[in-house]
Amino acid sequence: MSSYGSRSAAEVVVHPDKDSLAAAVAARLVVRVLDAQVRRGRASVVLTGGTVGTQVLRDVAASPASRAVDWSRVDLWWGDERFVAADDGDRNAVQARGAVLDALAQQGLREEAVHVMPASDGPDGDDPEAAATRYAAELAAAAREEGVGGVVPVFDVLMLGVGPDGHVASLFPGHPSLEAGQEVGHEVIAVHDSPKPPPTRLSLTLPVIASAEEVWLVVGGADKADAVAEALAGPGPLPASLVSGTARTLWLLDREAASSL
Ligand SMILES: O=C1O[C@H](COP(=O)(O)O)[C@@H](O)[C@H](O)[C@H]1O
């Protein structure tokens, strides 16, 4: 057990390959968004970058079922971002825009509901700490608007990729940004000297991830198999082992990523 709020037990679903994994997650996401809109009138989703994460978005955009969603009542957030220029192809948001956001805008998604993390040429310039504070303020404003009483809005689904080293969002194992105390009082942190390029990033913190109703870890590929097995064995040094949703924690894998289980 981690100390990050109430936890739901991990459920594992294995799909034959990356393509079917992405298609199944996209279908699940559309249904989850529809259900949230029925239940509370709106939906809020935290997106992930990464290979499968971006494929999921493409599949959502292509899915006929996504036309049943009222995209004007959906907010999109990011779990992490690479702190580079706004038009840099390394940015998760740039990849997502090409994959889906432009298509969903045609279906009603509002530009102001796409909550992109600030870039290094944004309003705070090359100051990732100020950019992290700015994104935290945007989260807090959304929470106030929803009247939920917390510092972040309700996240119906928060998706995460997992790196071969067991990182999630831009939280890397053994990195100083995860040392005790670093996250206290911060919803969003600046990460310097990331072991995976680019070196400067912004990330939601573990307590914020744990506030989501459902956390989905979407993982494909044999290079992730050992990290998946270690994380599912129980809380430990891997950030992936420390995340869970309040209502549901889903590990959505392809056969290769599940091969060490
Ligand atoms: O750097 C990142 O990596 C992870 C995993 O990406 P993948 O391509 O190995 O699936 C991703 O979830 C994260 O958003 C991204 O910034």
Q: Which residue's alpha carbon is at the smallest distance from atom 2 of ligand 1?
A: 50
Both tokens of 38, joined, read 């029925």
| Residue 161 alpha carbon to ligand 1 centre in Å | 5
What residues line ligand 1, using a CB cutoff of 6 Å?
A: 48-53, 80, 92, 160-161, 163, 170, 196
| Residue 92 alpha carbon to ligand 1 centre in Å | 9
Residue 102: per-residue pLDDT: 79
- For residue 98, give the DSSP letter: I
| Residue 258 alpha carbon to ligand 1 centre in Å | 18
Residue 101: per-residue pLDDT: 80
Per-residue pLDDT of 124-176, as tens digits, reads 999 999 999 999 999 999 999 998 888 999 999 999 999 999 999 999 999 88
Q: Tell which atom from ligand 1 comes closest to the C-alpha of 51.
A: 8
| Residue 39 alpha carbon to ligand 1 centre in Å | 31
Q: State residue 206 phi and psi, 5-degree precision.
A: -60, -45
Both tokens of 140, joined, read 């807090």
Give the ipTM of the model, two decimals please: 0.95
Q: Each residue of 38-59: b (16+ CB within 10 Å) or e?
A: eeeebbbbbbbbbebbbbbbbb
Per-residue pLDDT of 168-222, as tens digits, reads 999 999 988 887 666 777 899 999 999 999 999 999 999 999 999 999 999 999 9
Per-residue pLDDT of 2-58, as tens digits, reads 345 557 899 999 999 999 999 999 999 999 999 999 999 999 999 998 889 999 999
Higher pLDDT, 150 or 69: 69
β-strands 74-78, 43-47: how paired?
Answer: parallel
- Helix ranges, the chain (H): 18-40, 51-62, 92-96, 102-106, 128-146, 206-210, 225-232
Determine contact, residues 50/117, Cβ cutoff 8 Å: no
| Residue 50 alpha carbon to ligand 1 centre in Å | 4
Question: In this predicted structure, which of 36-45, 98-107, 117-126 has the lowest mean pLDDT?
Answer: 98-107
DSSP letters spanning 157-225: EEEE---TT--BTTB-TT-GGGSTTTTTT-SEEEE-S-SSSSS-EEEE-HHHHHTSSEEEEEE-SGGGH
HSE, side-chain direction, 13 A CA sphere, residue 30? 20
Orientation angle between helical segments 18-40 and 51-62, nearest 10 degrees: 60
Q: Which of 167, 188, 256 to mutate to test the pocket of ligand 1 (most atoms within 8 A of CB)?
A: 167
Residue 180: per-residue pLDDT: 63
| Residue 104 alpha carbon to ligand 1 centre in Å | 22
Residue 181: per-residue pLDDT: 62
pLDDT at 60 over 90: yes
> Band of the pLDDT at 116, cuts 50, 70, 90?
very high
Both tokens of 93, joined, read 């948001």
β-strands 80-82, 201-204: how paired?
Answer: antiparallel
Residue 100: per-residue pLDDT: 80
Question: In this predicted structure, which of 61-70, 116-125, 170-179, 232-241 has the lowest mean pLDDT?
Answer: 170-179
Q: Of 74, 70, 46, 57, which is closest to residue 23 (Cα–Cα)?
A: 57
Between CA 114 and CA 76 the distance in angstroms is 5
Both tokens of 239, joined, read 């950030």
Q: Which of 52, 88, 162 to mutate to test the pocket of ligand 1 (most atoms within 8 A of CB)?
A: 162
| Residue 215 alpha carbon to ligand 1 centre in Å | 15
Q: Of 165, 259, 169, 251, which is closest to residue 206 (Cα–Cα)?
A: 169
Q: Which residue's alpha carbon is at the smallest distance from atom 12 of ligand 1?
A: 161
Q: Which residue's alpha carbon is at the smallest distance from atom 7 of ligand 1?
A: 50
Question: Which residue has 């998604």 as its token pair?
Answer: 109
pLDDT at 1 over 70: no
Residue 6: per-residue pLDDT: 59
Q: Tell which atom from ligand 1 comes closest to the C-alpha of 167.
A: 4
How many other CB atoms are found less than 10 A from the CB of residue 16? Answer: 11
